[in-house]
Amino acid sequence: MSPKNRDDLATRRIRVFERRYGTNALYLAYHAAFPLTLTSDLLYCLRENFVRDVPWYAVADVLLSGLCQTAGYDLYEMEGKTRDALLRQLCDEFGEQRLKELANFMSEYIASRLQANNDNRVLVLGERPDWTALAYLSPDGQEAINAIKQELQRLTSSADGKERIKWAALVESYADLLSEKGFQPLLLEWAQQTLDNQPIQDEATKIATQMGITLQPVKFQVAIITQEDEPTEELQPFDFVTVTVDARGQVVNREKQRGFYFVELLGDDNQVDFEESEKLKEKLILLEEKDRLIKVTQELSQNLTYQQTTIDEKKTYFNLIKINERISEIDETLKRLSPQQTQQIKQQQRAKLQRQLFYLSKEKKTLEHNFVSNFIYENSHVERFRIQEDISLEISKVDEEISQIEKALEELPLTLPVPLQQTQQRIIGLEMVAIPGGEFVMGSPSKELERRSSESPQHTVTVQPFFMGKYPVTQAQWQFVAQLPQVNRDLNPDPSNFKGENRPVEQVSWDDAVEFCHRLSQYTGRPYRLPSEAEWEYACRAGTKTPFHFGETITTDLANYRGTDDEKNQWSGSYGQGPKGIYRQETTEVGILKVANNFGLYDMHGNVWEWCQDHWHENYKSAPTDGSVWLDDNNRILRGGSWYTNPRNCRSAYRSNKDLGSTAYCFGFRVACSPA
């Protein structure tokens, strides 16, 4: 990714964070960008010393959001461009003097935390001693640096001689702004020399020897992995069924597998700033904490000695006083909320409930399908009965949760503009499946039936991890995105010939698909795009080397394509020794045939052709081997076949192309998304 794009991505990432958590939480994020690495203890202290008006639970919002990446147990770091953008905004908002204040704070923080006992040191400084690079220190902080070095020397020469400094390769996450201002990370010069494979300076070696540390250059490759912008929630698991067929199209194996995905919920009003709603959320959390502390107080006298009880009761009582004070402050704020703000809070709560409802509805459908699917009947009667009982119980549990959420939604009546009311009547989710990185052989072997020369030569391609739509883009998803602000071109809000919310959108050109991705990216803050041709084939094969991800042939029970011979008998409705089938003559709802590939993707063979980013080339000579887009000034790539095509055109390796402005009843697409 180019530096320019990374800058843009950092800006979008910050905008999405502010939109989701509010301006106050963003102020905390500004300060969180100063240290090179973060722990929850450090961020709590930054909040307490610099932005006390920010709710305490915003610490979790910052650490678990797309702004930070996990580096170890309770240890987090930021991507360099994101850090730099946040620090520049910090200076705009609080002035450059705040940088010096942060540097002084970090000196005192590290020095004080080094005095902690071993157990507490792990909690506040992280599981690994990467905390040596925690702070940027100003040039006039030599006294603090010396004090810290002395304490490090004491630690490393103590009885616990195994404790040693472990350098983190953090040079790439330097913030340009801090370098300009003359700030240097504590002890990072040694790490820089090691990274550059230069001899470590004598003075550094001398100090290291005094501290009991051996500094030796180590050759390694640095990989920068940037966590995906949003969603802040973790990936959700989902179950799916795959099948394998023999050369005659008979199912010889049916397997239940599990993948991971996230849902981009469209229409959840996530563009509204709900700063005031944070007060209400905080109050609810505080009330729960208050109840817990009261119970703790009641239990202390029964479980601890008198001395322990006295100390812990004082701590608990002090915390209760602080909580009561904060609740009173929140109550005063809530009294001043306007009806419009109250409405916004309800809207946010409704969006979260709808997200839960979406996941539960998907889970229920999966369970119901499993209840009647073929793999159950391959078991004995006793085993089948047991499985059905278990699934019935799970369905009941999901039904109960769905009922609770629906009841909660009924208790949140909203007065909304008509367009928004129409949007909220249904939940629109774009399901994005995590595709692991790996290598595969792209193209078809010379002995594959009905192959074409454009599928040669076969070549090994390495693909990085990415996300891909579980299904082709549906008409409901298209209609929502089409009404978003234009980026480069107009979009027909309802272009499809075969109508249906859950049918794939068709009659869209390559230009239309790209505009869809631009609008979706602008709305979500996530970099959506069309997949490269290599990514598409890698995702379609999902580890297989056969003509179809099902196996050596394909059947119309598994995919939607023309399963009959055409009128002139030019193209066969069967492939190899496989059977002929039916010709539906239209698209079907996405995923309706209930069979996925090994990555959990549906409809990769048939239904609609899918646009890719790449430009057309007659063969794979000089094709890239890193999974990137292959550009030229030619037509655009289409993959996967469609309801209209015969089975040979639905093969994993089959390639087609059309002009970027072409449309047809069988042209659709699915979206991809890179982590960064």
Residue 374 has pLDDT above 80, yes or no: no
CA 481, CA 495: separation in Å to the nearest integer? Answer: 13
Residue 487: per-residue pLDDT:
93
* C-alpha radius of gyration, the chain, whole number: 29
The H or E element spanning position 91 is helix 80-94
346 torsion bin: left (phi>0), alpha (psi -120 to 50), beta (else): alpha
More confident residue, 302 or 263: 263
pLDDT per position as a tens digit, 97-119: 898 888 888 777 766 665 554 44
DSSP string, 636-649: EEEES--TTS-GGG
* Distance, C-alpha 278 to centroid of its chain: 23
For the whole prediction, is pTM greater than 0.85? no
- Taking CB atoms within 8 Å and a gap of at least 24, the contacts of 440-448 are 440/537, 440/538, 440/541, 440/543, 441/545, 442/534, 442/537, 442/538, 442/620, 442/623, 442/653, 443/620, 443/653, 444/547, 444/651, 444/653, 448/547, 448/651, 448/653
Q: Where does 336-480 show beta strands of DSSP type E?
A: 428-435, 438-442, 459-463, 466-469
State percent of the chain over pLDDT 90.
36
The per-type count for the chain, helices as H runs and strands as E runs, is 20, 16
CA 208, CA 477: separation in Å to the nearest integer? Answer: 59
CA 416, CA 446: separation in Å to the nearest integer? Answer: 61
Compute the residue count for the chain: 676
Q: Is 407 exposed, middle or buried (0-12, 13-18, 19+ CB in 10 A)?
A: exposed
CA-nearest of 547, 529, 518, 492 to 611 is: 529
> Letter for the amino acid at 59?
V
For residues 226 and 69, the answer to whether their CB atoms sit within 8 Å is yes
At residue 530 the predicted structure's pLDDT band, cuts being 50, 70 and 90, is very high
pLDDT per position as a tens digit, 598-631: 999 999 999 999 999 999 999 999 899 887 888 7
Beta-bridge mates of residue 76: 38, 70
At residue 447 the predicted structure's pLDDT band, cuts being 50, 70 and 90, is very high
Residue 120: per-residue pLDDT:
42
The H or E element spanning position 514 is helix 510-524
Mean pLDDT taken over the chain: 73
Query: Rounded mean pLDDT of 556-573?
Result: 88
Q: Tokens 């009667």 belong to which residue?
A: 381
For residues 255 and 419, the answer to whether their CB atoms sit within 8 Å is no
Q: Tokens representing 595?
A: 């069979």
pLDDT per position as a tens digit, 202-211: 444 444 444 4
At residue 138 the predicted structure's pLDDT band, cuts being 50, 70 and 90, is very low
| DSSP-derived pairing of the beta strands 236-245 and 251-266 | antiparallel
Return the exposure string of 19-45: e unless at least 16 CB atoms fall within 10 Å of the residue's CB, then b.
Answer: bbbbebbbbbbbbbbbbbbbbbbbbeb
480 secondary structure, DSSP code: H
pLDDT per position as a tens digit, 187-231: 444 434 433 444 434 444 444 444 444 444 433 333 333 333 333
Residue 171: per-residue pLDDT:
37
Residue 367: per-residue pLDDT:
60
CA 670, CA 676: separation in Å to the nearest integer? Answer: 19
133 secondary structure, DSSP code: G
Return the exposure string of 97-128: e unless at least 16 CB atoms fall within 10 Å of the residue's CB, then b.
Answer: ebbeebbbbbbebbbebbeeeeeebbebbbee
CA 550, CA 552: separation in Å to the nearest integer? Answer: 7
More confident residue, 541 or 193: 541
Residue 628: per-residue pLDDT:
82
For 611, residues 6+ apart whose C-beta sits below 8 A from its C-beta are 508, 510, 513, 530, 636, 637, 638, 667, 668, 669
Q: Highest mean pLDDT range out of 289-303, 375-389, 410-424, 544-558?
A: 544-558
pLDDT per position as a tens digit, 625-650: 887 888 777 799 999 999 999 999 99
For residues 554 and 249, the answer to whether their CB atoms sit within 8 Å is yes
CA-nearest of 403, 297, 316 to 353 is: 403
Q: Tokens representing 389?
A: 């009982």
Residue 239 has pLDDT above 80, yes or no: yes
pLDDT per position as a tens digit, 158-174: 433 333 333 333 333 44
For residues 462 and 625, the answer to whether their CB atoms sit within 8 Å is yes
Instruction: Look at residue 280 and give its three-state secondary structure.
Output: helix
| DSSP-derived pairing of the beta strands 667-668 and 609-615 | parallel
Residue 17 has pLDDT above 60, yes or no: yes
Q: Tokens representing 540?
A: 């379609």
Instruction: Look at residue 209 and give its three-state secondary structure.
Output: helix
Q: Tokens representing 496?
A: 């499809």
What angle, 0 to 180 degrees and rounded to 10, lies between the N-to-C axes of helices 23-32 and 80-94? 110
Residue 590 has pLDDT above 80, yes or no: yes
Residue 660 has pLDDT above 60, yes or no: yes
For residues 191 and 167, the answer to whether their CB atoms sit within 8 Å is yes
Q: Residue 581 to residues 394, 561, 562, 563, 576: CA-CA distances in angstroms?
A: 36, 9, 8, 4, 13
CA 671, CA 472: separation in Å to the nearest integer? Answer: 8
CA 237, CA 370: separation in Å to the nearest integer? Answer: 16
The H or E element spanning position 538 is helix 533-541
pLDDT per position as a tens digit, 38-82: 887 788 889 889 998 888 778 877 887 778 877 666 678 888 888
For residues 465 and 434, the answer to whether their CB atoms sit within 8 Å is yes
Residue 384 has pLDDT above 70, yes or no: no
Beta-bridge mates of residue 237: 260
Q: What share of the chain is helix, strand, coil (3-state, %, to 5)?
A: 45, 15, 40
- The CB density around residue 263, as the number of other CB atoms within 10 Å, is 20
At residue 352 the predicted structure's pLDDT band, cuts being 50, 70 and 90, is low
For residues 483 and 518, the answer to whether their CB atoms sit within 8 Å is no
CA 194, CA 169: separation in Å to the nearest integer? Answer: 9
For 369, residues 6+ apart whose C-beta sits below 8 A from its C-beta are 241, 594
Residue 149 has pLDDT above 80, yes or no: no
For 492, residues 6+ apart whose C-beta sits below 8 A from its C-beta are 482, 512
| DSSP H stretches of helix in 411-497 | 418-424, 475-482
